[in-house]
Amino acid sequence: MNATASDTPDIDAVRSYLRDLQDRICTAMEAADGQARFVEDAWSRAEGGGGRTRVMNEGAVFEQAGIGFSEVHGATLPPSASAHRPALAGAPWRAMGVSLVFHPRNPYLPTTHMNVRYFQAQPEGGAPVWWFGGGFDLTPFYPFDEDVRHWHHVARDLCQPFGGQDRYQAHKRWCDEYFFLKHRGETRGVGGLFYDDLDEGGFQASFGYTRAVGDGFLDAWLPIVERRKGLPYGERERQFQLYRRGRYVEFNLVFDRGTLFGLQSGGRTESILMSLPPLVRWQYGYQPEQGSAEARLADYLQPRDWLAAD
């Protein structure tokens, strides 16, 4: 869908929102950690554009937390971005977004990811084509039903002005399908929301939903941080966390379209790969002890209606 004259894309408004979102999330995470601060690395890209990558290391709560804003453009849209829009292959393009991955120190506090993004392409002889994408998902090692339900309550509630239950179910299902490790037969975590190629209802409606997702992340995440960051744990839990982080690496390097887009578009490697955990381990043929807390995780790694009891 192309915008009408009264609903023209406002790139300046998108840029302003995204930069402010990065600022607000950094402020909230520094307060939640209570010790570490984000360090900013501003960068530019030879083909066009740049960004600001912020990373927090060795905090009291976050072993590593990365959140980046980027605005880049180029002469040829990369294959990962044109796969669902073949008519735009080779078109000049512009993309901007905020993406984050937080790796907590405490194994009882999940890893989490969020991103919101905007694309615009200019096909030869045609009008500009634009779309939004984004979402957030949760990857626990030791799941708590209370946390999972809260996460999905926030996701469902923010969808209410934008199609309600139908929007939530569609984007929850998309999240379950997208964040799925096919070679493992399991989801990356307990899901959330995921969407791409969104232009439904025009620019203002699509931008409004994207803002709701970006703003909803803190509502979904901060209560879980406060509940779990101080729980005691031992070396067993820590080793299981490091093992399960390997699944995160597998997904990001094999399947993640954002990683592929960054690499295919000549993006900044350090910023693209900031999503990877600082420490991780693999173990051949690992099987958790039957009936253990570690074995329980498998029950959570298949799509499920987490709000069925409502």
Other beta carbons less than 10 A from residue 243's beta carbon: 17
| CA distance linking residue 25 with residue 39, whole number of Å | 14
113 in active site: yes
Other beta carbons less than 10 A from residue 220's beta carbon: 24
> 73, 84, 103, 113: which is the annotated catalytic residue?
113
Classified as helix, coil or strand, 89 is coil
| CA distance linking residue 123 with residue 120, whole number of Å | 10
| CA distance linking residue 51 with residue 48, whole number of Å | 11
Other beta carbons less than 10 A from residue 279's beta carbon: 11
C-alpha angle 19-26-219 in degrees, rounded to nearest 5: 95
| CA distance linking residue 255 with residue 264, whole number of Å | 14
Is 21:215 a contact under the CB 8 Å cutoff?
yes
One-character DSSP codes across 90-135: T--EEEEEEEEEEEESSTTSPEEEEEEEEEEE--TTS--EEEEEEE
| CA distance linking residue 44 with residue 50, whole number of Å | 4
Please give the structure tokens belonging to residue 71. 């605005």
Q: 108-142 burial, b if ≥16 CB within 10 A, otherwise e? A: bbbbbbbbbbbbbbbbeeeebbbbbbbbbbbbbbb
Residues with a known catalytic role? 113
